Structure 1
Amino acid sequence: MKEKVLQAYEKLAKDYEIHVDTESGHNAYYERPAMMKLMPSDMRELAVLDAGCAAGWYTEQFIKRGSQVTAVDLSPAMVEACKRRVGDETAVFTCDLAETLPFHNEIFNLIVSSLTLHYIDDWEPTFREFHRILKPGGCLIFSVHHPFMDFKHFDRPDYFAHELLKETWNKKESGPVEVTFYRRPLQEILNVTSAQFVIDRIVEPQPDIEFKDKPESMDWYKRWFDRLSTNPHFLIVKARKQ
């Protein structure tokens, strides 16, 4: 499975670097605004891990807010895209979140993982590692596919199944790419999280109306606003280490 994810995102890296910020409304007007509203009001000098940095949008935001950021991704091509974005302002390197993480105990104030964890089968080792490297009182904020969305979109027969799904994405730079990821029920997401952390907030985002009337976003809003206002596509969890 890891090799399939790696192959897909090596192909998708250029699309993420060139197009996602301006052409993917699901990121720009839906997931990112909802995630950023959960960030600490003052991020100056916080030690932050961007766990699954992709082309570095979140990494750049945290740097601008004065954080001490470390960014990691499974895909070397994504790591290079992130480096091109942020230069030498932070450490960016390849890392498998399903393995033991190369960090000392209790060194981060915040771990942010955007639309990454659904590519990992077993979350328990990953969340134990997140708990180990977070400082007491530190926060974990992550977004994943909403289990209700995957259940409906793929017309699955068993909501409670933990299963591997496949979808073909057709992008400008890469052409068609098969993307594989895991679907799991809401109770599994919450129970695995709460085994290590105290859950502070659950968010089922809706499109951010701040961008609704901007020329570059109007087409996306016309297509998706009503649907995403009534059917959740992503799920966001904010939790903390006691």
Structure 2
Amino acid sequence: MKEKVMEAYDKLAGDYERHVDSQSGHNAFYERPAMLSMLPSDLGQMTVLDAGCAAGWYTEQFIQRGAQVTAIDLSPAMIEACKRRVGNKANVFACDMNEELPFDDETFDLIVSSLTLHYIEDWTPIFREFQRVLKHGGSLIFSVHHPFMDFKHFDRHDYFARELLTETWNKPEAGPVEVTFYRRPIQEIMNVTSSRFNIEQIVEPQPSIAHKDNPEAKEWMAKWYDRLMTNPHFLIVKARKSVD
């Protein structure tokens, strides 16, 4: 599985670097605004881990908000794209989140993981690592595919199963790329998270009406606005490490 994910995202790196920020509406006009609304506008000198940084859009946002940022990703090509975006303003390197994270205990004030964890089958080890490297009182914010969305989209028969799914994405530069990920029920997502953290907020994003007048978003909004207002596509969880 790790090799499949790395191969797919190495192929997708050019599209993420040059097209996703404005052309992929589910990222630019749906997931990202919802995630950013859950973050402080001023991250002044906070230490932040971008866990699954891709081409570095979030990494750049955290830097602009004043954070000291470390960004990791499985894909070497994505890491190079992230480095081109932020230069030496963040510590950026390839890292497999299926393995122990290369950080000391209580290193970070905040961990953000955008649309990454559904590529990992067993969340128990990585959530244990997230807990270890977060400071007491630190926050974890992550987004994943919504179980309801994948259950309907792939016409699955057992909602409660954790299962491997595959679909083909067609991108301007990469063309057709086979992407493989795991679907799991919401109770598993909540239970694994709450076993290590105190869950503070659950968000099932809806598109913002503010983007309806954005020329770049117009076509995407026309196609997706009504559907996403009634059918969630992603799920966002905000949790905190206990101060005890």
The AA in structure 2 aligned to 1:149 is M
Partner of 1:32: 32
Partner of 1:156: 156
Partner of 1:220: 220
Query: Superposed, which structure 2 residues align to 1:15-94 within 5 Å?
Result: 15-94=15-94
Query: Superposed, which structure 2 residues align to 1:136-147 within 5 Å?
Result: 136-147=136-147
Shift of 1:22: 0.8
Which consecutive unaligned segments of at least 5 residues does structure 2 have? none
Partner of 2:121: 121
TM-score norm. by structure 1 comes to 0.99
Query: Superposed, which structure 2 residues align to 1:157-176 within 5 Å?
Result: 157-176=157-176
Preserved contact between residue 49 and residue 108 of structure 2 (Cα < 8 Å): yes
Matched, 1:234 2:240: no
Q: What is the distance in 1 between the residues matched to 2:175 and 2:57? A: 23
1:179-236 C-alpha deviation (Å, 9 max, x unpaired): 0000000000000000000000000000122211111111110000000000000000
Matched, 1:14 2:29: no
**Misfit runs of 4+, over 4 Å:** none
Q: What is the distance in 2 between the residues matched to 1:82 and 1:202? A: 28
Q: What is the distance in 2 between the residues matched to 1:181 and 1:131? A: 23
Q: What is the distance in 2 between the residues matched to 1:39 and 1:61? A: 11
RMSD over equivalenced CA pairs, Å: 0.6
Partner of 1:191: 191
Partner of 1:4: 4
Q: What is the distance in 2 between the residues matched to 1:16 and 1:215? A: 20
Shift of 1:41: 4.0
Preserved contact between residue 41 and residue 65 of structure 2 (Cα < 8 Å): no
Q: What is the distance in 2 between the residues matched to 1:239 and 1:17? A: 29
Q: What is the distance in 2 between the residues matched to 1:20 and 1:119? A: 19
The AA in structure 1 aligned to 2:221 is Y
Q: What is the distance in 2 between the residues matched to 1:24 and 1:173? A: 13
Identical positions, percent: 73
Number of equivalenced pairs: 242
SS in 2 for 1:160: coil
TM-score norm. by structure 2 comes to 0.98
Q: What is the distance in 2 between the residues matched to 1:158 and 1:62? A: 39
Q: What is the distance in 1 between the residues matched to 2:85 and 2:42? A: 23
The AA in structure 2 aligned to 1:28 is A
Which consecutive unaligned segments of at least 5 residues does structure 1 have? none
The AA in structure 1 aligned to 2:133 is I
Preserved contact between residue 35 and residue 236 of structure 2 (Cα < 8 Å): yes
Preserved contact between residue 49 and residue 70 of structure 2 (Cα < 8 Å): yes
SS in 2 for 1:72: strand
